[in-house]
Each structure stands twice: as C-alpha cells, then as structure tokens.
Chain A
Amino acid sequence: MSIPSPAAQSNGGPNVSIIPEAVIRIAGNSQDGIQAIGGFLARLAGRSEQEVMTFMTIPSTISGGPSIFQVRLGAGEVPSAGDEADVLLAFYQHSYEGHIGALKKGGIVLFDTDHVEPKAEWQQDYRHIGVPISSLTIEAIGGTAKDKGKNIYALGLLAKMFDLDVPKLENLVGERFGGKDPAVLNNALAAFHAGYSHALGQVLETYKFAASERKSKPQVVMNGNEALAYGVIAAGVRFGAAYPITPWSDVMEILRRELPKYGGTFVQCEDEIAAISMANGASFAGRVAVTGSSGPGISLKMESLGWAVMAEVPLVVINVQRGGPSTGLPTQVEQSDLNLACFGSHGDAPRVVMAPADVEDCFYTAIEAVNIARKYNVPVFILSDQAIATRIEAFPEPDFEHVCQDITPDFSPVADYKPYDLASPDGVTPRVVPGTPILSGRYPIAGGLEHDEYGHPTASPKLHMEMTARRRKKLQALAATLPVPTVYGPPEGNLLLVGWGSTRGPIREAVDRARAAGDSVSALHLKHLHPLPPGLENIFSGFNLIRVVEMNDEGLYGYGQLAGLLRARYCDARISGINKTDGLTWKVKEILEHARADIARGLAKM
C-alpha cells in the first residue's frame, strides 16, 4: 500500500515520491543471482537504518528451478515480508505469469523484454515497464546471455527507481566481488551503472524512502540460520555434531567454519543418530554441546534425546522445521514438529521446548537455550523453521562483550557427588564432569537405566517414582521462573490470536490492521512452549475467544498442535485453531480474514 499513484503525494520535489516502505519481489531462476540482489537490498537497508525483512524461497531443484526473493524495506517497523508486492521484477515469462498475482493492483511490473511477452489483459491493472535486461547487460559487460551480471544490472534499475544510496551499493558490490579477479568487480560495477543510467521508459517519477528514526546502534543483517549459529557460539558452545539436511545445513556449515576460531570443533557425522550421540558425549564430558536437523533427522534423534533426559545431560537440539511427515516438503515451512519436540521419545521424558520469533530472536534464543540446558541439565529444543531460516532481517548489533559467555567447566575437586541427588528440592543438581577428582572415591555413571543417586542401576519402584518426579520437578521449577508473556494490544477484548515461532510478525500486523478497522483483537506470542510460562489463564480470561494461529494441520479433533497443548493444559473451551498447511508463511490478510469471520459470527463459537 505504499507506492502512491503518480499524481499523489509528490511532495519530494518534481518526479520524486516519498514513500514509507516498498515490497519488491524478484522472480527468475535459481542461477540468476536473485538472492544476491535481495541480499544487497537488505544489507543496504540495514546500513541506512531502514527496517528490512525478506521472504525467500529455496528452489526445490538445485539449479534452474523458479526462485523468488521478496524484500520489504521500510522506514518503520517491518513485521512481515508483505502480502502484496509494489514492484515485480520478472526475468522470464514464467516469472511474469507466475507472480503477477502477487503484485498489487496498480503495481509496477519491471520485466526483461528479451524473455517476457507482456499480456494485453494485464496492461490495465499493472504498470508495465519493459527493459531488455539481458541484451543491455551483454552490451555493458560482454559475454553471453547465460553469464551472470543481469542481476546486478537489475539492481542498478531498482537503485534508480528507489533513489537508493549509490556509493553504499557500490561498497556492497565491492565487498561481494572484491578479492576475486579485478575484472569481475569491474564487470559488476559496469553492469550496475548501466542499469542505473538506463532511462526507465514511462516511469516518470522515482521514489524515496522516508527518513527513519536513527537507530542507536549499528544494524547487522543476516538470516535466521546465521543468527542461530552465532548465538550458539556467543553462548559458549564449543562442540557440535550434525548431518546435512535442508533447511538446517547452513547452521552446521557456519559452525564447522567458525568454531575453530573459538577453539571449538564441529563434526559432520555419518548419520543423525551419531550426531546427537556425539553431542551427548561432549555434553557429558564437559560443556553443553549442540546438534540440530530438520524433519526426518529429528525423528531419528529421539532415542538419544531420551538418554539425555534420563542421564540428565544438558544438550541443545535445533530443529529448523520443514513440511512433514516423512520427507515431506524439504524446502517449505510448517510448524508441525511441536508435538515431536515436546513428546517425542518413549517413556516420560520431560524436556524444554522454545521457539524464536524472528531473526534477532534466533541469536538470543540460542543463548537462553544453552543456559537453561546448563542450569537444569536437560535437553532443550529450539524450534526454528524454514521461514526464519532463510529470511533476512536487520537488527541492532548485540552487546558482544556482555552476551558472550565462557562456560568452561570447573574442575576443582569435590568431596562427594550425587548426580541424581534426591535431597535437592527442585530436582536440580549442578554437574560435576570428568576431569574433576571426587575425594570420596565414588564416581558417577551416566546411564540410560533407571538409577540411584550415584547413577547405578536399580529396578526399585520407589526410586523410579522418585527419579521420574525429580526429572519432572526440574521443569516445573523452570516454568516458575519464566516471564509472563505480554499481550500485544489491549489485555481485554473480543478475540485473542495466539501464535508461536515465526508467525509473530504477520499476527501482529493483522492485529494492527484489525484494530485500525475498529475490531477488538489482540495477540499473544509464546516463546516458551514446554514448559508453558505462568499467567496464561489470566490472559485468556480477558477475551471472549482464543484462536491459535499455526502453520500445521487442525488435527483429528480440530486443534493444531499448540492449540491442543493449550486445551489440554487449561481445559478452556474458548480455545480453537486457525491452521494452514500450504507450506507458505501466513499472509496478513489470511489471518485477518479468519479474524473477521470470527467477529462476523459474533464469536459464536464460545
């Protein structure tokens, strides 16, 4: 809704419109460097103190498959990637035809006339601007149409259209292509300037983003997988192990590359079970280790996770969720692993589950997960998802000296050590790790068998009851320390939208729009999912209807996975679900439609 028609709001001087934000969708094939354009725009926005959020699809084929990148740049808060694009940059006929529906009426379609034949019936609804991008790129830098460079040419076009900061973009291009053959950088800059100086046909005006409030701190720009990996490092984790799987793999690639700089090691294992087992071994031997995966890989880890629960060994397991079951939708998003994270593995096996809400939250959630694991000697799941993993956001750079932790264990001798001390009221016993002399001469065994206080096996009914309770009490103690989540919007009203994980942004945007239209809607975001934080009953009591918005199926009984948990926990018949399983993130308007339908029905379901 941000690009005005040519006549409106031309208050930035002749031919320049000041706009608060813009959604730009770039569509082509995966080898066209689409993500590079998106990345440049996102980082430019970060350096300009602009808010930025991107939405990227990974093509399911390695090369040649359709690829899109959507970037929303704005002067204010940018909570979601945007439902509709203001500008569509289409490199091919299939990109044009496949994505014009994502363009808002009156939006601009910028297309490569070398590959796209515009359709007459769409001329009325969308402003068409054709540029022979492929041939002009060849003209500018030589080579053949298959050569890279047209993405940078297109970046030049966009830079002109949105009056972007050219010196900053040149720096970004230099950082990306510098260090290689100087001819590569020269070609890139030549393509950029050719695009920038192209006369943009019938577009008479250009756009300028409104100045945003200056951020107190420099912004960093990265995706969720990067933020998770660096969060794990900041938390002090120095050992991890994993097996490659989409969309988790970038996290392990980063950790493998980066950990040695911090004195650590990350191991690529023969399989998923070896990976969690190696992490369990390292955690047993000293400090919290990390493993992670997606989809089927998480299923494979479940027996080992149960061992960590039984042996009370701290562990962090990252699950970058994708569509399931089985191989499912490897490159699309779903929130369908919540039940697995909370309850997977046989027996009564309590563990912690938490989910980051955005890219910045990935960084801090990793640190919190490590600290919960350390304090309570329990495995902690971080439920990220494909959407956060691949989207790029700008956030204030962390206070590094303050957040980076040293979690080297203490090896000072101890008099005696009962790892499973039943006298501890909250079930929490600080760990003593190998390397530490125990002066009593009694050394502990960490085992998967039910055990006595020193870890030796027992089949005593009394001990099994007490140890089961001990493992549960730890998490009850944790629950009592969790912060009561804050309601977004007024604490009382008609409708409360509850969400978790990556849906926080679009849910909040839906609340903003609903309230702007006069509807009584608020939202509640849950970061801690298992155990749940205290105080939710009070929050729920302020609303007539509670709808849990999730990217998973409504289930056999009509409730999504979090909705089911909340109903089981609070026995509150006003809780129901808004679910979808199309493998895509929530659009704001989809949430709004559900909310409006509830309101139109007079919230009859309650």
Chain B
Amino acid sequence: MSAPATAASSPKTGDLTSAPAGRASAAPPAERKPLSKKEIAADHPTWCPGCGDFSVLALYFKLIEKRKLWQEKITTISGIGCSSRFPYFVQAYGAHYIHGRSLAFASGISLSRPDLHVFVFGGDGDLFSIGGNHFTHTARKNIRMTCVAMDNQVYGLTKKQTSPTSPLGFKSKTDTWGAVDYPINPVKQAIAAGATFVARTTHSNPNHVLQMMEAAADHDGFSFIECLSECVEFYEGAFDGTNPRKGGAFNPIPADHDVTDETAAYKLAGEPFPGYFGVFFKTPRPTKNAKEAALISAGREKLKGLQDWQVLKKTFDRMK
C-alpha cells in the first residue's frame, strides 16, 4: 500500500503531517487478524438482484481482508447514485456526500489526514457529468486516493435517463429516439486529465477486479479504475460483449504495452467496444500530498522550536 508519511512532530503543533495516535491504541497491526467479511459488511445492499455493483463491493471486502486494512484507517466515500450507496454497506468510517462532489470531499480527507486510506466509489453520472470538473482537477493534482468509477452507462437511480457514457443510439427516457450526444470515454478522460494510474476492468471478471484494486491501492497518487458494472434493470446486457460466458471477449491489455507511454495508453483506450482491460497508464509523478508536506517542512524548518502562538506573535510583531 502507499505508505502514508508519518513525521515525528509534537502534537502541540497540530501538524497535519503527524499521524494520530489511534494506531497505537488498537493491537499492533502485525497481531491483528484481517477483517472478516462479516466484520466489514454493514447494511444489506439496496441494489437490484444481479447488479454488477455487488461484485465490486465483494472485491472491496476482499481487498480489505487481503491487504489487512483496518476499519479505523479507511474512509469509503461516495456521491449520489446507485453505486454511491456503497459506504452504507461497509462497516468502516465513510461518507455519503452530495452529487458529483465526492472527489473534492475525498481530497479534503486525503490532504488533511495522511494516515488514512481514501477510497471513492461513484457512477458515471456522478464522476463524469455533474462531477466532471472535480474529476479533472483531482487527477491533475494527483491527490492520493483510489477512485473506482462503477460505469453502467445509464442513470439507474432515477430510472433510465441518458448518462455521459451512454453509447450513441442508447434509448432512454430522455432520449427515446436514442442518445445523440457523443459519450465520454472514462479512461481517455483520466489520461488526458493527468491521472497517474489508469486501469479498466469489468464486474464479470472478479479476479481481475481485485487485481486492479490492489494495483490501484498500491499506487502513490490518484489511481483511477473504470469498472464496467451492469445495470440489469435499465441496461441489461450492456457488457455481454466483454464476458466470455455470454459470448463476448475479455481482452487483456497486450503484454508489450508500455504503461508509461501516455500516447500509447490514450490510443489503446480509444479502441472500440469491448476494448481492453488492465493497467493502461502508470507514472510516478509526485503527489500533491507530498508537495504540500514539503511546503510544511520548509515552512516549519525556519521556525524550529517555536510554539504556534510564538509563530503568530512573530508575524504580528511585523504589523506594529
């Protein structure tokens, strides 16, 4: 996992780079048993039977168990939509924020609490329509978190309207004649915005979903996964073409693809449906978290040994 930086610092300073003592009060990580599914599951999901989102939730539980993440150290964040009910189903700290703004909310957590792991789950409407601006800026700032877009290519919670990823011609209640607006390609969007980890997976291949989640969680920066997640109620069969059990093809990213080659990644992401699955792009650009921490270190370096009130007094002395 991306190991959150912990700087030794007096708690008196209120320094954001210092980790809270909570870690010490529970049993040391080495002695704690991984959380079981029973411990980490909360409310029974409100999703329709057969919804692809069940698979994403089950694999998130697996990730928590496998990577020994603790309830007090993760935050599960979402906006509004079917998939965004996610945090209620996880027995850990979480927030169900407003429509489209989950990434900005999660950024506030990530930048003020380096000791926490931040996971954001959202739908295509939440992340690419109402939240499109936040997606771009969270990606370019490379704020440390993992964002999973559970893309069903339709508005499900509001019962079948066109979404920003609905393919041209998709018949919905707002486009009874078929969608007319060119859809967003989430992987291309993420690469263009400057995301430093971009992957694509699909709910019908659980091992691959887990593999992508682990790789994303290990990435130090803004890691983005587009996970196709079928809406059985309003867009049934949308992703059959990616599922070998339904006559489709699951195409892994070619072995010779260079994940550090942004242009190649963008080109690969533009391949027509069903496209490819795997890590498209990965680059080690410094995170905003690290840059802000460096500004804090530089700012405090000059004031070594001063209490906060003494720093303020020094500033006010110049205003006399």
Using known A-B contacts A269-B104, A434-B75, determine if residue A282 contacts B111 with beta carbons closer than 8 Å. Answer: yes
Asked if residues B134 and A436 are in contact (CB atoms below 8 Å), the reply is: no
CB proximity to B under 8 Å, residues A65-121: none
Interchain nearest-CB distance for B66 vs A (Å):
20
Which of A16-24, A260-268, A479-487 interfaces with chain B? A260-268
Alpha-carbon gap, A195 to B70, bound state (A):
71
Report which of A46, A241, A407 forms a contact with B14, defined as CB distance below 8 A.
A407
Asked if residues A445 and B310 are in contact (CB atoms below 8 Å), the reply is: no
Asked if residues A274 and B91 are in contact (CB atoms below 8 Å), the reply is: no
Using known A-B contacts A435-B20, A435-B116, determine if residue A239 contacts B295 with beta carbons closer than 8 Å. Answer: no
Tell me which residues across on chain B come within 8 A of A436, comparing CB atoms.
22, 72
Asked if residues B39 and A271 are in contact (CB atoms below 8 Å), the reply is: no
Report which of A262, A304, A456 forms a contact with B98, defined as CB distance below 8 A.
A304
Tell me which residues across on chain A come within 8 A of B71, comparing CB atoms.
437-438, 441, 443
Interchain nearest-CB distance for B250 vs A (Å):
34
Tell me which residues across on chain B come within 8 A of A234, comparing CB atoms.
309, 312
Asked if residues A448 and B137 are in contact (CB atoms below 8 Å), the reply is: no
Asked if residues B95 and A284 are in contact (CB atoms below 8 Å), the reply is: yes
Report which of B26, B72, B134, B298 forms a contact with A434, defined as CB distance below 8 A.
B72
Alpha-carbon gap, A289 to B104, bound state (A):
14
Tell me which residues across on chain B come within 8 A of A411, comparing CB atoms.
20-22, 25
Which of A217-225, A501-509, A561-569 interfaces with chain B? A217-225
Asked if residues A445 and B320 are in contact (CB atoms below 8 Å), the reply is: no
Tell me which residues across on chain B come within 8 A of A278, comparing CB atoms.
104-105, 107-108, 111
CB proximity to A under 8 Å, residues B76-101: 77, 80, 87-88, 91-98, 101
Q: Is B158 part of the contact surface with A, judged by Cβ < 8 Å?
A: no
Asked if residues B14 and A446 are in contact (CB atoms below 8 Å), the reply is: no
Q: Is B259 part of the contact surface with A, judged by Cβ < 8 Å?
A: no
Report which of A222, A285, A409 forms a contact with B109, defined as CB distance below 8 A.
A285
Q: Is A510 part of the contact surface with B, judged by Cβ < 8 Å?
A: no
Asked if residues B108 and A400 are in contact (CB atoms below 8 Å), the reply is: no
Report which of A286, A311, A413 forms a contact with B25, defined as CB distance below 8 A.
A413
Asked if residues B113 and A230 are in contact (CB atoms below 8 Å), the reply is: no
Q: Is B299 part of the contact surface with A, judged by Cβ < 8 Å?
A: yes
Asked if residues B108 and A289 are in contact (CB atoms below 8 Å), the reply is: yes
Report which of A226, A263, A280, A445 forms a contact with B13, defined as CB distance below 8 A.
A263
Interchain nearest-CB distance for A234 vs B (Å):
6
Chain B residue with Cβ nearest A447:
B96
Chain A residue with Cβ nearest B91:
A443
Report which of A220, A281, A435 forms a contact with B22, defined as CB distance below 8 A.
A435
Q: Is A307 part of the contact surface with B, judged by Cβ < 8 Å?
A: yes
Report which of B13, B25, B77, B313 forms a contact with A412, defined as CB distance below 8 A.
B25
Interchain nearest-CB distance for A35 vs B (Å):
15
Asked if residues A281 and B108 are in contact (CB atoms below 8 Å), the reply is: yes
Asked if residues A445 and B87 are in contact (CB atoms below 8 Å), the reply is: yes
Q: Is A238 part of the contact surface with B, judged by Cβ < 8 Å?
A: yes
Chain B residue with Cβ nearest A279:
B108
Alpha-carbon gap, A281 to B145, bound state (A):
13
Q: Is B15 part of the contact surface with A, judged by Cβ < 8 Å?
A: yes
Binary CB contact string for chain A from 428 to 440 against chain B (1 if under 8 A, 0 otherwise) = 0000001111100
Tell me which residues across on chain A come within 8 A of B91, comparing CB atoms.
441-443
CB proximity to B under 8 Å, residues A266-315: 267, 269-271, 273-275, 277-287, 289, 303-304, 307, 311
Q: Is A397 part of the contact surface with B, judged by Cβ < 8 Å?
A: yes
Asked if residues A400 and B106 are in contact (CB atoms below 8 Å), the reply is: no
Q: Is A368 part of the contact surface with B, judged by Cβ < 8 Å?
A: no
Using known A-B contacts A262-B13, A457-B88, determine if residue A444 contacts B104 with beta carbons closer than 8 Å. Answer: no
Tell me which residues across on chain B come within 8 A of A271, comparing CB atoms.
133
Report which of B11, B25, B316 forms a contact with A230, defined as CB distance below 8 A.
B316
Q: Is B58 part of the contact surface with A, judged by Cβ < 8 Å?
A: no
Using known A-B contacts A409-B20, A446-B96, A447-B96, determine if residue A263 contacts B14 with beta carbons closer than 8 Å. Answer: yes
Taking residues whose C-beta sits less than 8 angstroms from the other chain, chain A's interface range is 35 or more
Interchain nearest-CB distance for B207 vs A (Å):
28
Tell me which residues across on chain B come within 8 A of A282, comparing CB atoms.
108-109, 111-113
Interchain nearest-CB distance for B89 vs A (Å):
10
Tell me which residues across on chain A come within 8 A of B308, comparing CB atoms.
233, 262, 404, 406
Q: Is A244 part of the contact surface with B, judged by Cβ < 8 Å?
A: no
Using known A-B contacts A434-B75, A446-B95, determine if residue A261 contacts B113 with beta carbons closer than 8 Å. Answer: no
Tell me which residues across on chain B come within 8 A of A311, comparing CB atoms.
95
Asked if residues B313 and A285 are in contact (CB atoms below 8 Å), the reply is: no
Tell me which residues across on chain B come within 8 A of A307, comparing CB atoms.
97-98
Pick the most buried of A230, A261, A448: most chain B CB atoms within 10 A of its CB: A261
Asked if residues B95 and A445 are in contact (CB atoms below 8 Å), the reply is: yes
Q: Is A258 part of the contact surface with B, judged by Cβ < 8 Å?
A: yes
Tell me which residues across on chain A come within 8 A of B72, comparing CB atoms.
434-438, 443
Asked if residues A443 and B96 are in contact (CB atoms below 8 Å), the reply is: no
Interchain nearest-CB distance for A460 vs B (Å):
15
Asked if residues A218 and B320 are in contact (CB atoms below 8 Å), the reply is: yes
Tell me which residues across on chain A come within 8 A of B9, comparing CB atoms.
263
Asked if residues B26 and A413 are in contact (CB atoms below 8 Å), the reply is: yes
Alpha-carbon gap, A457 to B96, bound state (A):
10
Asked if residues B14 and A434 are in contact (CB atoms below 8 Å), the reply is: no
Tell me which residues across on chain A come within 8 A of B211, comparing CB atoms.
none
Report which of B108, B115, B307, B312 forms a contact with A435, defined as CB distance below 8 A.
B115
Interchain nearest-CB distance for B51 vs A (Å):
17
Chain B residue with Cβ nearest A433:
B93
Pick the most buried of A221, A267, A279: most chain B CB atoms within 10 A of its CB: A267
Using known A-B contacts A221-B319, A437-B72, determine if residue A277 contacts B104 with beta carbons closer than 8 Å. Answer: yes
Using known A-B contacts A219-B320, A241-B108, determine if residue A265 contacts B292 with beta carbons closer than 8 Å. Answer: yes
CB proximity to B under 8 Å, residues A17-62: 43, 46-47
Alpha-carbon gap, A412 to B319, bound state (A):
40
Interchain nearest-CB distance for A415 vs B (Å):
13
Using known A-B contacts A270-B136, A304-B101, determine if residue A408 contacts B11 with beta carbons closer than 8 Å. Answer: yes
Asked if residues A285 and B108 are in contact (CB atoms below 8 Å), the reply is: yes
Interchain nearest-CB distance for A403 vs B (Å):
8
Asked if residues B320 and A286 are in contact (CB atoms below 8 Å), the reply is: no
Interchain nearest-CB distance for B134 vs A (Å):
6
Asked if residues B43 and A286 are in contact (CB atoms below 8 Å), the reply is: no
Asked if residues B75 and A285 are in contact (CB atoms below 8 Å), the reply is: yes
Interchain nearest-CB distance for B33 vs A (Å):
13
Asked if residues A443 and B12 are in contact (CB atoms below 8 Å), the reply is: no
Chain A residue with Cβ nearest B130:
A273
Using known A-B contacts A262-B308, A263-B14, A265-B292, determine if residue A434 contacts B93 with beta carbons closer than 8 Å. Answer: yes
Interchain nearest-CB distance for A256 vs B (Å):
9
Tell me which residues across on chain A come within 8 A of B18, comparing CB atoms.
263
Interchain nearest-CB distance for B20 vs A (Å):
4
Tell me which residues across on chain B come within 8 A of A263, comparing CB atoms.
9, 13-18, 296, 300
Q: Is B249 part of the contact surface with A, judged by Cβ < 8 Å?
A: no
Q: Is B73 part of the contact surface with A, judged by Cβ < 8 Å?
A: yes
Alpha-carbon gap, A532 to B59, bound state (A):
51
Tell me which residues across on chain A come within 8 A of B105, comparing CB atoms.
277-278, 280-281, 284
Q: Is B42 part of the contact surface with A, judged by Cβ < 8 Å?
A: yes
Q: Is B303 part of the contact surface with A, judged by Cβ < 8 Å?
A: yes
Interchain nearest-CB distance for A531 vs B (Å):
25
Asked if residues A258 and B315 are in contact (CB atoms below 8 Å), the reply is: yes
Asked if residues A289 and B112 are in contact (CB atoms below 8 Å), the reply is: yes
Asked if residues A445 and B73 are in contact (CB atoms below 8 Å), the reply is: no
Pick the most buried of A46, A236, A397: most chain B CB atoms within 10 A of its CB: A397
Asked if residues B93 and A397 are in contact (CB atoms below 8 Å), the reply is: no
Interchain nearest-CB distance for B123 vs A (Å):
16
Asked if residues A285 and B113 are in contact (CB atoms below 8 Å), the reply is: yes
Q: Is B192 part of the contact surface with A, judged by Cβ < 8 Å?
A: no
Asked if residues B112 and A434 are in contact (CB atoms below 8 Å), the reply is: no
Q: Is B1 part of the contact surface with A, judged by Cβ < 8 Å?
A: no
Can you give 20 A-B contacts (C-beta < 8 A)? A43-B320, A222-B319, A230-B316, A234-B312, A261-B303, A262-B15, A263-B13, A263-B296, A265-B292, A277-B98, A277-B101, A278-B111, A284-B109, A311-B95, A397-B320, A400-B310, A411-B21, A436-B72, A447-B97, A457-B43
Q: Enumerate the 10 nearest inter-chain pairs by beta-carbon distance, A residue then B residue, closest first.
A: A281-B108, A263-B15, A260-B299, A411-B22, A447-B96, A277-B104, A404-B309, A278-B108, A274-B104, A282-B108
